[in-house]
Chains A and B, each alone.
Chain A
Amino acid sequence: MEDTIVSQATPTGFSAISLIRISGDKALTFSRKLSNKKTNLKHLKPTKLAIHVNNKKIDEVVFTAFYAPKSYTGEDVVEVSCHGNPNISESIINEIISFGGRLAHPGEYTKRAFLNGKLDLLQAESVGLLIKSKSIDAAERQTKNLLGGITKKINKVKSRLLFCLSTLEFEFDVSEEEYLTNETVEKIKKALKSCETETSRLKESFIKGHAYTKGLKISVIGKPNVGKSTLVNKLININKSITSDIPGTTRDLIITETTLDGIPVTLIDTAGIHNTKDKIEKEGIKRSLREIKNSDIIISVFTNTDQPVDIKGFKKQILVYNKEDLQPYKGTKKTVVSVSAKKESGLDALKQNIKEKISFLKTNTNESLITTIRQKEAVDSLNLHITQSLNHFTNKPMALEIIAFEIRTAISKIDLFTGKTTTNDILKKVFSDFCVGK
């Protein structure tokens, strides 16, 4: 038997209300004990009850019971809404534990929901991401995923592949004609090609999807004392990095998370890059260089007196000339953005520039994106097998059974996303779509 688990569903700290969730066989029994109620709570009927701990009334709360299997986890679930005081929620949780419950592990509710067949794998993943997603835009996208946005797209590909496969299987298993007609071959090829295009598109959407969930990394680099930290602070309007006139004030990476145009962004303020004998600074520079490699965008800051740090081969780079208040930019490079972080001039132009650089991520909200590595791998190999099946059409003699094998493999990759396809599904299609001979 599974343990009955408990945890606070809302963030810790003071708030208007807190929600505590109990899930498992004993959820109802525990709630009865907690409230001194003689009978079980009714399904989906919020009930206001007082809670006593050590004979002392600590709060009046609302209990809502969800009977198995009609609950999120598929088990009996009780949600307790108490007032948002950490002491109250803590004592409630401790009471439940003293009754024999246990604190839930991270993601355990979702895991149980998955194991009880309440969610498919894709949905379970999306729930995990929803909780963790870094901006509202990303949350919306995840909601869409939850509703099956990707599943729908993938299912469309699957139904086309099933058409191709059932056409071939009809040839192998029913038709006694010697050859496949050219017309049939062309039909299969056309369907496969559209699947190839669709999966290629999905494949590419990972770059976006990944950025939405994990956030884009933007590193601000430059020689010491060109004003990197000041610039970062102004960009996010808080004082996080300590700034001073002394070069090398920022000795380690300072990481700030923010959103730009709804896209989660991680701004990394790096240590100034120069030759130094200071051990700590040296380590900081080493880390800066490593971080630069992993960045999506680099903001390279320079001034009248310090040249930009040359990072070779990095494409998404914004050159920022700082301290224009001391000396205006006189260079000829049109791509250079001239600002004064201190006087807050030119910052809007810089923000605009960054937005342009990340605009490739702006999608219409109807687009479904794949967001996890697992999804990416499945789509990659799906796409690969579709391409391979297409390649076989050029071979002479055409090995139809190999084409069928590749399509079957492709379908099995889709099944990783959405669930099993049985031979019966394939045969069902054969018998409903084709006139069976003898």
Chain B
Amino acid sequence: MIKENFDIVVVGGGHAGLEAALISSFLGCKTAIITMDPQAIARMSCNPAIGGLAKGQIVREIDVLGGVMGKVADASGLQFKTLNKKKGRAVWSPRAQIDKRLYEKIALQKVLKSPISIIKGEATSIQIKNYKIRGFKLRSGETIKCSNGIVTAGTFLSGIIHIGERKILAGRMGEERSEGLTESLSSYGFRTGRLKTGTPPRALKNSILWTKTTKSFGDKNPMPFSYSTKAFNPPNDPCHTINTNEETHSIIKKNLNLSPMFSGDIGGIGPRYCPSIEDKVFKFENRPSHLIHLEPEWKNSDQIYINGFSTSLPEEAQVAALKTIPSLKEVELLRPGYAIEYDFFPPSQLKASLETKDVSGLFFAGQMNGTSGYEEAAAQGLICGVNAANKKKHLPALVLSRSSSYIGVMIDDLITKDTLEPYRMFTSRAEHRLLLRYSNTFERLFLCSKKHKLLTKESLQLFKNITSLKTAIEKKLDTSIDKSTLKNKEDISQKTPAKTILKRPSVSIFDILKNTTQKETTIPKWLEKDIMYDVESDIKYEGYINRHLKEIKQIEKNNQLKIPKKTNYKKMRGLSKEAIEKLSLLRPENLGQAMRIAGITPADISVLNIYLIK
């Protein structure tokens, strides 16, 4: 029985909970995790991969902000691949296939090595007094007192699993759901909604005819997530691809009425970007085939994740449809695909610090904020952890701007936009995308990390070294060069500064600088290359970057115009009805946030602006 008072209690031990607990403990706060299953800390409930389009960038941002996701993924990856390599340097997105079991193991080690207390139990209600959190009550009747609480309940709140017409009350397949917390929070005035997500079936490895599949490997020169990863030699185990066919589609169509999404059994709204196979067949009727990836769930795993075949059809229909694909003729499922419905709390109830607007010391992170994805959850957990700790120490909150990071974009989107479906990061959500490159993550966030003391001594030193290496490379490019210096036959009539030559689309920095002749050995080769590439990007994109910077200055002005907490929008003449409703509900913290609320027109903003200046 734990009777102590905690500085910070984290409810839930998923990816959000893990980052939240680790960083707050690192920042010196007495921290506890309440979890229904201590063995399931950092469990990857869905796909066996970390990173990917726009998510890879988030993982690296987490790394610079003192989080662990990148480090754990680097240590447990089976293959690494940078996506969008041919489409532009700002959209490069690394992804890793992960050994789920190893990932969980390393993550758990990190918790065990820290002073964090793990409390096995189910938080069923929250205790709030005078708009301030006091603690959580467990199903066992025990009360855990805390000055700050971070709720990261994932899909567990009132979770319902759907497989065809079968319904199972659960938080994940085989794990109990959590009850009571939603009602408890609602009783304090929090708004809630329902969302759904899905996961594909898992097949038995030996039931697949592997010769009828196409192998796909990772990159030969893989790129790790974490800046602190030195020796990097991931195994590069293959994944396999197969294709559905018209027969597959006809079985799915025949069974559509048994899919709870189509029969209307599921009220929650599902993610458009991660459609079920039913959705794909229904919406793109004319497509003869869809691509499916077969991915191992851990090293030499007997369990294969059928990526691209997310479904809530009855199990028999799932098997029948899969068996129409030659390589799956004899497939046996270890677990059917399913859809899950769960409670979420519209995140417009949060401040940019992720603290709730109404209850002091209460923070929300992850899927219960309506997001999807391990990376999105981990990033929110990290921000909650830092801000709960800062609150405890009476320090200002860590708020990331939209121009600093994808995490900043995400949180700003969450608090200013109504989430109608699970929110996933996309690079197109970032209006200053050319600034938010994978390769300049350190530059964007290092100072912020330093200010909030999120880094170990070694990391701090590493980032200092990286920064000075970048400066050194830039300096070298100030010198003038002629034809003889360049590898390719560029036409240079007279000695010209290397920087100018580098602006030409066909010239790369590696044509000019063979290597950085860096004497220090603290920076690994892959990182040195990455930094050189980043210098090149800065130079090649200079004009565009400047355009972004100009816009940002304007936006910053609006962000600095604070809106008083008790503003009465009803009294503002000239605001549209919709604006009054939305602004009263969302209570933006500044004019910038108000501008980004859907349905608020420029006319509304000019009215609001006049009132704020007056």
Chain A residues within 8 Å of B, Cβ to Cβ? 1-2, 69, 112, 114-117, 121, 169, 171-174, 176, 178-180, 395-397, 399-402, 404-405, 408-409, 419-420, 422-424, 426-427, 430-431, 435-438
Contacts and interface: CB of A to CB of B under 8 A. Distances in A.
Contacts of A401: 87-91, 433-434
Contact of A2 (B53, B90, B284, B573): B573
B601 interface: yes
Given A116-B574, A401-B433, A172 B290 contact: no
Contacts of B83: 176
Interface in B540-599: 541, 544, 547, 573-574, 576-577, 598
B273 A115 contact: no
A116 B576 contact: yes
Interface string B267-293: 000001111000010011001001101
Interface string B64-88: 0000000000000000000111111
A33 B88 CA distance: 70
Contacts of B602: 121, 419-420
Interface in B277-323: 280, 283-284, 287, 290-291, 293, 307-308
Contacts of A116: 574, 576, 603
Contacts of B91: 172, 400-401
Contact of B427 (A173, A422, A424, A436): A173
Contacts of A1: 573
A400 B428 contact: no
B574 A2 contact: yes
B417 interface: yes
Nearest to A423: B429
B506 interface: yes
Q: Which 4 A-B pairs have the closest CB atoms?
A: A401-B88, A431-B272, A173-B426, A169-B428
A2 B434 CA distance: 44
Given A173-B426, A436-B272, A436-B275, 19 more contacts: A112-B574, A115-B603, A121-B602, A172-B88, A172-B427, A395-B505, A397-B86, A397-B505, A400-B87, A400-B88, A401-B89, A401-B434, A402-B541, A405-B544, A427-B426, A435-B284, A436-B280, A437-B291, A438-B308
B472 interface: no
B607 interface: yes
Contact of A117 (B307, B433, B573, B603): B603
B283 A435 contact: yes
Contacts of B280: 435-436
A435 B87 contact: no
Contacts of B84: 171-172
Contacts of A171: 84, 87
A426 B428 contact: yes
A424 B416 CA distance: 13
Contacts of A114: 603
- Of the four ranges (under 10, 10 to 19, 20 to 34, 35 or more), the interface on chain B belongs to 35 or more
Given A117-B603, A401-B91, A424 B417 contact: yes
Contacts of A117: 576, 601, 603-604
B88 A173 contact: no
A438 B293 contact: yes
B607 A115 contact: yes
Contacts of B427: 169, 172-173
Nearest to A75: B573
Contacts of B417: 424
A69 B576 CA distance: 10
Interface of B: 53-54, 83-91, 272-275, 280, 283-284, 287, 290-291, 293, 307-308, 417, 426-429, 431, 433-434, 505-506, 541, 544, 547, 573-574, 576-577, 598, 601-604, 606-607
B586 to A, nearest CB: 15
Contacts of B273: 174, 431, 436
Contacts of B272: 427, 431, 436
A431 to B, nearest CB: 4
Contact of B87 (A121, A172, A395, A427): A172
B305 to A, nearest CB: 11
A138 B574 CA distance: 31
Contact of A178 (B85, B293, B547): B85
A173 to B, nearest CB: 4
Contact of B506 (A112, A396, A436): A396
Nearest to A408: B431
Nearest to B596: A422
Contacts of A420: 601-602
Contacts of B544: 402, 405
28 contacts: A115-B607, A116-B574, A169-B428, A172-B53, A172-B91, A173-B53, A173-B426, A176-B83, A178-B86, A396-B506, A397-B86, A400-B91, A401-B87, A401-B88, A401-B434, A402-B541, A405-B433, A408-B431, A426-B428, A427-B272, A427-B428, A430-B428, A431-B272, A435-B283, A436-B272, A436-B280, A437-B308, A438-B307
Contacts of B290: 435
Contact of A174 (B53, B505, B603): B53
